[in-house]
């Protein structure tokens, strides 16, 4: 099995072209003018819950528990959902912790301990199939034709946290839970695509990459419970509207762009290039990283404008129904805190180690 730093010739060339560049990341919050932010009042309680019980329930290695404790998923959850009640906050936290721990098992950039899963297409496929079967069972959707592992016996240990997440949703109707199932299925299937591409050593086109990354970032899984997190249910016509489609698409795009921009240095250091920055850099065929970064900032600005236009259109369509307008505003504001929260967490978390590159104006300057 090749190590994470043993790349194909194409990647060796790409790495050589990237080295010596300096990555300038402006304060991304300035793009999202007027978008709310905040931290849930139960942050410290949530940190105790995650760093104690949740991580300990699925990880036995003290070094890995320490790594995830430093990542501070409590802060991540609290900034994405600053207004959530304690019970709902714990549901979202269970998803976040599950998603990171589960994904790291098949991510060569994260797999610090020699784990054969990430280097084998067959093992990745089996891992994802077992996980998906467990997810179906946990959401209680009645897929009786699937052979499920007995409760609590999934060979994928991290699925115990997904079961906790799903348990929090059991009071929701089947339609809501099936929506979650659809997005979790997309996440898992796109992880298989991403893993296969990495193992093949192939560089995707920007279009291929963005399609795949929209699934692997996992944001749509949390978008599917935004109304639950706020304690209401939006009508079907709203959820199926063209505007809501834009809200989801742009929120998802912003989330994966933020993640890719802030995690790039960490990923480059371990020799993995499945990231929007090198994908655009490779496609542009230059030796200057500034062009890729400029394109990313344009994408974020366009996503912001499309989101705002879609939100305004839906609010206009709902005028005359005061309660619906209030619920829509709360829904949109939660989507907005996905962005502001993700930026704040990325800068603060030790997962990406960015504090050493942070400037007084909240920009980032990273020598590569």
Q: What percent of the chain has pLDDT over 70?
A: 90
- Give the per-residue pLDDT at 117: 66
**366, 257, 253: which is closest to 28 by C-alpha?**
257
**3-state SS track over 79-132:** HHCCCCCHHHHHHHHHHHHHHHHHHHCCCCCCCCCCCHHHHCHHHHHHHHHHHH
Tokens of 284: 């542009």
pTM for this model (two decimals)? 0.91
- CA dist., res. 305 & res. 303, Å (int): 5
Q: Nearest to residue 277, comparing CAs of 253, 254, 257?
A: 257
Q: What does DSSP assign to residue 365?
A: E
Average pLDDT over residues 173-194: 93
- The pLDDT tens digits for 71-128 are 999 999 999 999 999 999 999 999 999 999 999 888 754 544 445 666 678 888 888 9
Q: List all residues 6 or more positions away from 296 whose beta carbon is below 8 Å from its beta carbon.
A: 257, 261, 276, 277, 280
* Extents of the domains making up the chain: 8-35+206-354
- The pLDDT tens digits for 250-275 are 999 999 999 999 999 999 888 888 89
* Residue 365 dihedral angles phi and psi, to the nearest 5°: -125, 115
Q: What topology is assigned to 8-35+206-354 in CATH? A: Farnesyl Diphosphate Synthase (1.10.600)
Among 93, 53, 91, which Cα is nearest to 77's?
93
Mean pLDDT of the region 293-299: 97
Quick: pLDDT tens for 321-330. 999 999 999 9
List of E strands, 20-76: 22-25
Least confident of 235-244, 245-254, 261-270: 261-270
């Amino acid at each position: 099995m090749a190590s994470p730093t043993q790349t194909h010739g194409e990647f060796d060339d790409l790495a050589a072209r990237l080295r010596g560049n300096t990555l300038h990341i402006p304060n991304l919050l300035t793009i999202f003018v007027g978008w709310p932010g905040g931290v849930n009042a139960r942050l410290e309680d949530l940190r105790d819950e995650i760093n104690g019980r949740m991580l300990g329930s699925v990880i036995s290695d003290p070094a890995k528990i320490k790594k995830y404790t430093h990542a501070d998923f409590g802060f991540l959850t609290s900034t994405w959902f600053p207004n959530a009640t304690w019970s709902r906050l714990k549901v979202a936290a269970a998803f976040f912790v599950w998603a990171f721990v589960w994904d790291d098992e098949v991510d060569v950039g994260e797999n610090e301990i020699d784990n054969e899963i990430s280097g084998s297409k067959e093992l990745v496929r089996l891992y994802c199939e077992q996980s998906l079967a467990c997810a179906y069972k946990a959401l209680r959707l009645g897929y009786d034709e699937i052979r499920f592992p007995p409760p609590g016996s999934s060979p994928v240990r991290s699925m115990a946290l997904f079961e906790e997440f799903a348990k929090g949703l059991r009071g929701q109707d089947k339609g809501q839970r099936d929506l979650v199932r659809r997005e979790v299925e997309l996440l898992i299937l796109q992880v298989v695509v991403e893993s296969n591409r990495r193992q093949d050593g192939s560089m995707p086109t920007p279009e291929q990459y963005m399609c795949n990354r929209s699934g692997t970032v996992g944001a749509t899984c949390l978008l599917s419970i935004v109304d639950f997190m706020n304690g209401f249910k939006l009508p079907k016509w709203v959820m199926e509207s063209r505007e809501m489609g834009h809200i989801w698409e742009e929120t998802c795009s912003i989330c994966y762009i933020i993640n890719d921009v802030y995690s790039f240095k960490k990923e480059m250091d371990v020799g993995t290039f499945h990231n929007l920055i090198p994908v655009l850099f490779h496609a542009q065929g230059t030796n200057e990283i500034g062009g890729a970064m400029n394109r990313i900032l344009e994408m974020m600005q366009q996503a912001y404008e499309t989101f705002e236009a879609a939100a305004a259109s839906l609010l206009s369509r709902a005028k005359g129904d005061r309660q619906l307008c209030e619920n829509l505003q709360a829904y949109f504001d939660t989507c907005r805190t996905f962005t502001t929260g993700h930026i704040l967490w990325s800068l603060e978390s030790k997962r990406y180690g960015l504090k050493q590159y942070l400037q007084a104006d909240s920009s980032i300057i990273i020598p590569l």
